[in-house]
Structure formats: C-alpha cells, structure tokens
C-alpha cells in the first residue's frame, strides 16, 4: 500500500510540475509577443537587433563551402556588434541550412521572411539554391546577397539580388585571355552537369570564338561520379592542348588524377575555375594537381593585392583573425561571405539603423569603392556584382601550393 | 575508336563495377538471411573510408593498421545496428524494417558529419607509384586493389557459405527462420553475423575506393543506390550474381558515357535496370523461387 501511495504521490507531483511548466511557457511566450511594443515605448537603452537571414549549404554537396561561409559571417557579426553595432543596434543573423537543395533553400527563405521577419538575406551558397529563392525574395521585396558564382545570379537581373563572387562572365574571358597568350587554341570541356558547371560551360561556349579558341570535345559528368576515365579517354582522342574542367566538389580531384593516369606526360594542360581554390582539392589530387591552372581572387595569395594597399590590409586583417579563430586560413568561400556581410553592414550604416528592406536595397545598390577580400565593389543599377577582371589572378599549383602566374 | 580506348572504357567500367559489386554483396547477404533490404549499406561504405582517414590522421596509425581498424569499427557498427535498431522490431513486416534501415542511414550520416566534419578527405593509395600501362590503357594501382579485394571477398563468401557450419546455418536461416530454430540454429546470432559481414564488405569497398576518389560524410547514399541497383540487376540471387550485377552496371555506365552521352549515363543505366526488371523480374542471374544464397 505504502509503495502504491508513493507512486500516486509521484504522479500528482509530476502533473503539478507539468502544469507549472505549461503556465511558465505560456507566460514566457506572451512576454515574447509583447516584447517589441514594450521595447518601442521604452527609451533607446536596449534597441532590438537588426535581423538578417542567412541561407547556407551546411550539409550536402556544398557543405565544405557553406561551413566556412558561416564561420566568416559569425566572426564578422561578432566584431561589428562588439564595436557597437549599427547606430546602436546590434546585428542578429538567423542561419538556415539548405542541404544543397534548391527546394530547401526556398523553404528556408519562406521561413526567414514569414517567421523571422528578416530585413535582408545572405545566400545561398550555390547557384541553384540562389535561383530557387528568387520567387520568395521578389514576393517579400527584401534584398538578397548571394555567395554563388553562377552567371545567372546577376545576369538574369533582379533588382533585389546581389552577388559577391566573380561571376563566370568575368572569370571565363579572363581565363580565355590567359590561354590565348599561352598559345592554346584547342580545348576540351569537362563540366559538372549541375548548376555551376552548366553555367560555366555555356559562358565558355559563348565566348571562345572571340579568343580564337576551339572546343574540340564537350563532356560532362554528374555530381558524385567516382571515375572520369571514360570522358577523359574520349577527350584525349581529340588531342586538345588543354582540358577545362568545371567542378567545385571532390570530382575535381578525381578528374586531375584520372587525367594524369591517361596522360602522364601532361600534354594536355588542365584548367579549372575559382571553385577549385580549396586545400581539399590539393589534398585529394596529390601530385596530379601539379601544373593545374585556375583563375580566382587574390585571397589565396594576399601579396598579390600589393603590399601596403587598402585591399592588402583588409584581406590580411581578415585572414589573420579567421586563422586565429578557426585554426585554418580562410578559403575563397569564407571571403565571399565576408564580402556579403561587409556589403550589408556598409549599406546599413548609410541607410540608417532603422531602414526598411527597400531602403536597404537602395543603399546596397549605391555601394561604391567598398574594399573587400574578393575585390573592390562598385555596384550600380545595372551591375549587381561590381567586380572586374582586375580582381582576378591566375594560379598554378606548384609543389602542392598555389602560385600566382605572372 | 581504337582498341586501346575500348580497353580503357572497359577498365573504367570494371573498376566502378567492382565497387558496386562489393556494395551489392552486402545487400544480397542481408536480404538472404532476413528478407529485408538494408538501405544503411552505403553508410558502411562511408564509415569505412572516413574511419580509415580518421585513424590515419588523428590517431596517427600507419595505413596498414588504419585500414583493418576501419573495417573492424564498421563491423562493430553493423552488429550494433542489427542489435539495437532491427532486432527489437524483428516481428514487424519487412517494410517497417526497411524503413528503419533508412532511418539508420540518416543517423549514421549525421553522426559522421558531426564527428568528421563536412569536407572531403583523402586517403593515400595502398601502394604508391604511377599507373600501370596495359596494351596502351592505364590502370591505377589502387584499381588492382579494388579488383583483388572484390575477388577475395567473393572467395571468402563462397568458402563461408559452402564449407563452414556458420555458412550452413546462414543458408538454413535464409530458407526458413522457424525451421532453423527448430533444428537448434541461433537465428538471431546468424542475422547479427550477417550484418557484421555486410558492414565489413561495405567498409572494405569504402577504404579501397577512398584513395581513388576521396571520401566524405555524404558519399553513402549515392553508392548505396548504385549497389542496390547492382543487387537487383543480379537478382539478389547470391554472391556471384551480385558481383556480376555490379560489373554489368559499371560497364553499362562506362560504355554509355563512351558511345552515347556522359550526361545521360546514369539515366541509361537506370533504363537498362528497368528493362531487366520488366523482362526478367528475377534479375539477370536470379532464378525465381531459388535458394537465396
């Protein structure tokens, strides 16, 4: 009997605790609901933070890109807030993971707009995800700063959408110019059939004629493929002077390794794209990466900014702080994220801390001479990227590290 | 199209095919003893590669020790999956168990991302050195390892199934759990051993392939799908059929990329698979109603 009464008492106790918990939760959420009004009536002692959203690929194929992006944003937001925020208001970023899936990127955008009421959105990591967000961005009328390198992001112009990496329309002519000077006239393309590679391939096909270059083979692969020997065997039969691959993930390392096996003498030079500027690529490809050439921004070799210039200071400051905090030098993707948050913070300063989304958009578009790590951003009503070929350099992998090609 | 090129396409196809075959073997033996498809099979492949890299880089083990360590850890995971996730639900319909394996695959993938991070990682080749040239076609040394390990796995399975008491118990369990229990076979233990074995096969494939392709926390889902396709192609009929299914799938992909289109090679392989299922539902090498191993 005693034990039964005991358990009965336990039940009652648990029920009381549950009820108390529910009451507490309801009270808390009610307080949460009334918070904005009470804060608005109070003097500006504690202003509500400026809320921004970030849609990043923290899982899936582009996880290796999205994670450094989040690192850079977190670090910069903490720095801005420690320095007093924007006009006395701190910045708060709500992070969403799109799992490298355009549909999830769209769902995340809806959530950020409807539930979080963000002023603007950073993201996405990838081109496909960035494009997937557009309908909701347009509907809500909030500005979006993307970190994806696809041409479509700003070529299919939208007055709300901005882009921090060098789009393919800058990268491709820059690389083709380099090839022309190196005497390369026949190339083969080996591109990812997904967003980034498809975008790059189209720009290359549109531009080659201007540089007197002919595409003799045009092969593709699918994300996740584990062997490219077949495509490269077909390419080798056409004997091009160079193979231009467009791959951001681990497929890039597979391609250079397979190419090395089929062509040990290196009669075909291998070119790539900014997405190959990752140490994982060199780790994966090993010795086969030697001689691999690609265009990217100056962040991989900060000396190339020119010692003593403002860009050099901005970049080395960012690289130093990032390396100290995360124990690893930032890659180009961390740089794109740094630029995205810098553009937003700069625009917020000019628009005022109480600006709405429309004013913020106008201020972003008016960005002039903002020195970031990807280059100097000069935005306008017709150019929502603002970078030029001057912000790019050619790199060649020598001795397992990137070297700037003069 | 020269003979050397044709040989190169064939080598590429057989290389991928052998990888698919190792995964298909895992699907086949689990199906034989439990009647379910284990969709966490691809995660064993992922774990093999990731644990090997972790053992090599973080623990500082030599490659010679890291590879068996990775296989052993994965075997442990395989046995735990059976014991903790599937055995408590043993009485449920096969569909329920299959869905549990899908859940397990998500769990393992998330765990791997938290433990090992989101980036791709590389494993050095088992034997260093340039590729071997064979009648004008190049073969990576690691590819020889993949083929060798596939052959050894097939041989070991064959000996196990036909020459050992455990193998006999596994075959009996494949025919009927109830009758096996009646003659004194501990079927629960047999099923657990099967999972451990499937995990070993997956891990073996994962470590053998990591030097060729790098590996990452998310490689399991795709390779699992390929291995599943290979197993179906082989008719879930037994070790030899699984390997044959894998090789046919690999060759189909490679030759479609070579002669039709590299963009649509996956789609073409899928069409071939569907055609086989329509025309011969028991698979290329399976016979309806036949003993499963």
Whether B120 sits inside 8 A of A59 (CB atoms) is: no
- Going from N- to C-terminal start, the domains of chain B cover 26-221
Residue A247 shares a structural domain with residue A331: no
pLDDT higher than 70, residue A22: no
Residue A270 shares a structural domain with residue A398: yes
List, for residues B201-233, the tens digit of each pLDDT value: 999 999 999 998 889 998 998 899 899 999 988
Tell me if chain B has a CB within 8 Å of the CB of A221: yes
Tell me if chain B has a CB within 8 Å of the CB of A250: yes
Q: Is residue A24 part of a domain?
A: no
Average pLDDT over residues A297-311: 89
What pLDDT is stored for residue A123 in this prediction? 86
What pLDDT is stored for residue B149 in this prediction? 94
Residue A381 shares a structural domain with residue A282: no
Total number of domains constituting chain A: 2
Residue A63 shares a structural domain with residue A192: no
Q: Is residue A332 part of a domain?
A: yes
Residue A335 shares a structural domain with residue A397: no
Residue A257 shares a structural domain with residue A397: yes
Q: Which residue of A has its CA nearest to B134?
A: A262
Q: Is residue A3 part of a domain?
A: no
**CA gap A54, A144 in Å, rounded:** 9
Residues of B within 8 A of A259 (CB-CB) are: none
Report the DSSP beta bridge partners of residue A402. Answer: A397
Residue A260 shares a structural domain with residue A222: yes
Residue A120 shares a structural domain with residue A78: yes
Tell me if chain B has a CB within 8 Å of the CB of A234: yes
Tally of CA atoms within 13 A in the half-sphere of A384 that contains its CB: 23
What pLDDT is stored for residue B19 in this prediction? 93
- Gap from A228 CA to chain B (nearest CA, Å): 8
Straight-line distance from the first to the last Cα atom of chain B, in angstroms, rounded to the nearest whole number: 41
Residues of B within 8 A of A286 (CB-CB) are: 122, 124
List, for residues B76-129, the tens digit of each pLDDT value: 999 999 999 988 888 888 889 999 999 999 999 999 988 998 888 889 999 888
Residue A397 shares a structural domain with residue A255: yes
Q: How many CB pairs under 8 A join A and B?
A: 104
Q: What is the mean pLDDT of chain A?
A: 87
| Partner-chain residue, chosen from B5, B16, B217, that has the shortest CB–CB distance to A233 | B5
Residue A316 shares a structural domain with residue A341: yes
Whether A226 sits inside 8 A of B218 (CB atoms) is: no
| Partner-chain residue, chosen from A58, A226, A286, that has the shortest CB–CB distance to B213 | A226
Whether A280 sits inside 8 A of B121 (CB atoms) is: yes
Residue range(s) defining the domain that contains residue A282: 169-302+393-405
Helix B239-259 with A229-237: angle, nearest 10 deg: 30
Residues of A within 8 A of B2 (CB-CB) are: 237
Instruction: List the CATH number of the domain containing A93.
Output: 3.40.50.2300
Complex ipTM value: 0.80
List, for residues A87-131, the tens digit of each pLDDT value: 889 999 999 999 888 999 999 999 999 999 999 999 899 988 999
pLDDT higher than 60, residue A21: no
Q: Is residue A69 part of a domain?
A: yes
Whether A253 sits inside 8 A of B214 (CB atoms) is: yes
Residues of B within 8 A of A280 (CB-CB) are: 119-122, 214
Q: Give the best residue of B3, B4, B8, B144 to mutate against chain A (max A CB count within 10 A).
A: B8
Query: Residues in chain B whose beta carbon is closer than 8 A to a beta carbon of chain A?
Result: 1-2, 5, 8-9, 11-13, 15-16, 19, 113, 117-122, 124, 130-131, 138, 140, 209, 212-214, 216-219, 222-223, 254, 257-258, 262-263, 265-266
Whether B212 sits inside 8 A of A193 (CB atoms) is: no
Residue A95 shares a structural domain with residue A244: no
| Partner-chain residue, chosen from A219, A229, A284, that has the shortest CB–CB distance to B12 | A229
Residue A195 shares a structural domain with residue A247: yes
Q: Is residue A20 part of a domain?
A: no
């Amino acid at each position: 009997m005693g034990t039964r009464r005991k358990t009965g008492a336990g039940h009652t106790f648990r029920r009381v605790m549950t009820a108390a918990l529910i009451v507490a939760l309801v009270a808390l959420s009610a307080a949460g609901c009334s918070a904005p009004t009470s804060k608005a009536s109070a003097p500006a002692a504690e202003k509500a933070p400026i809320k921004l959203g970030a849609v990043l690929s923290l899982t899936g194929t582009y996880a290796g890109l999205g994670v450094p992006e989040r690192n850079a944003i977190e670090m910069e937001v903490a720095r801005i807030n420690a320095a007093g925020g924007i006009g006395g208001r701190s910045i708060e970023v709500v992070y969403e993971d799109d799992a490298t899936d355009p549909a999830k990127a769209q769902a995340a955008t809806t959530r950020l707009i409807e539930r979080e009421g963000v002023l603007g959105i950073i993201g996405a990591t990838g081109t496909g995800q960035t494009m997937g967000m557009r309908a909701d961005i347009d509907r809500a009328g909030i500005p979006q700063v993307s970190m994806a390198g696809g041409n479509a992001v700003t070529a299919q112009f939208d007055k709300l959408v901005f882009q921090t990496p060098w789009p393919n329309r800058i990268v491709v002519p820059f690389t083709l110019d380099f090839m022309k000077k190196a005497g390369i006239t026949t190339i083969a393309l080996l591109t990812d059939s997904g967003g980034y590679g498809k975008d790059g391939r189209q720009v290359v096909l549109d531009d080659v004629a201007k540089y007197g270059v002919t595409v003799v083979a045009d092969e593709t692969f699918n994300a996740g493929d584990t062997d490219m020997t077949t495509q490269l065997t077909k390419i080798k039969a056409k004997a091009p002077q160079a193979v231009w691959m467009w791959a951001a993930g681990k497929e890039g390392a597979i391609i250079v390794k397979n190419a090395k096996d089929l062509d040990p003498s290196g009669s075909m030079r291998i070119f790539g794209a900014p997405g190959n500027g990752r140490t994982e690529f060199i780790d994966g490809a090993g010795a086969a990466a030697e001689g691999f050439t690609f265009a990217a921004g100056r962040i991989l070799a900060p000396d190339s900014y020119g010692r003593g210039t403002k860009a050099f200071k901005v970049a080395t400051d960012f690289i130093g702080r990032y390396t100290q905090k995360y124990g690893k030098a930032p890659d180009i993707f961390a740089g794109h994220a740094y630029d995205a948050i810098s553009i937003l913070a700069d625009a917020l300063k000019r628009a005022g801390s109480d600006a709405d989304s429309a004013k913020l958009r106008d201020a972003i578009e008016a960005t002039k001479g903002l020195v970031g790590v990807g280059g100097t951003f000069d935005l306008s009503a017709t150019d929502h990227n603002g970078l030029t070929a001057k912000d790019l350099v050619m790199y060649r992998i020598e001795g397992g590290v990137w070297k700037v090609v003069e | 199209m020269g003979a050397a090129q044709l040989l190169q396409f064939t080598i590429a196809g057989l290389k991928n095919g052998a990888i698919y075959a190792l995964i298909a073997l895992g699907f086949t033996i689990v199906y034989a003893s439990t009647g379910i498809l284990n969709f966490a099979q691809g995660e064993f492949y992922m774990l093999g590669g990731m644990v090997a890299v972790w053992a090599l880089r973080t623990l500082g083990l030599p490659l010679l020790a890291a590879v068996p360590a990775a296989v052993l850890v994965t075997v442990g995971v395989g046995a735990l999956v059976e014991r903790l996730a599937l055995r408590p639900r043993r009485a449920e319909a096969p569909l329920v168990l299959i869905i549990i394996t899908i859940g397990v695959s998500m769990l393992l993938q998330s765990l791997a991302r938290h433990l090992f991070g989101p980036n791709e990682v590389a494993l050095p080749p088992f034997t260093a050195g340039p590729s071997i040239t064979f009648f004008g076609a190049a073969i990576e040394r690691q590819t020889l390892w993949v083929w060798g390990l596939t052959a050894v796995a097939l041989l070991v399975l064959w000996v196990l199934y036909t020459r050992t008491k455990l193998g006999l118990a596994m075959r009996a369990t494949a025919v009927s759990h109830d009758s096996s229990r009646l003659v004194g076979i501990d079927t629960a233990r047999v099923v657990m051993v099967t999972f451990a074995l499937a995990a070993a096969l997956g891990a073996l494939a994962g470590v053998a392939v990591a030097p060729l392709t790098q590996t990452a926390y998310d490689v399991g889902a795709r390779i699992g799908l390929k291995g599943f396709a290979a197993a179906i192609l082989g008719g879930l009929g037994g070790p030899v059929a699984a390997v044959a299914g894998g090789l046919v799938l690999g060759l189909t992909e490679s030759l479609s990329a070579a002669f039709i289109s590299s963009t649509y090679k996956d789609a073409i392989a899928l069409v071939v698979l569907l055609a086989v299922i329509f025309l011969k539902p028991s698979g290329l090498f399976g016979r309806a109603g036949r003993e499963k191993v």
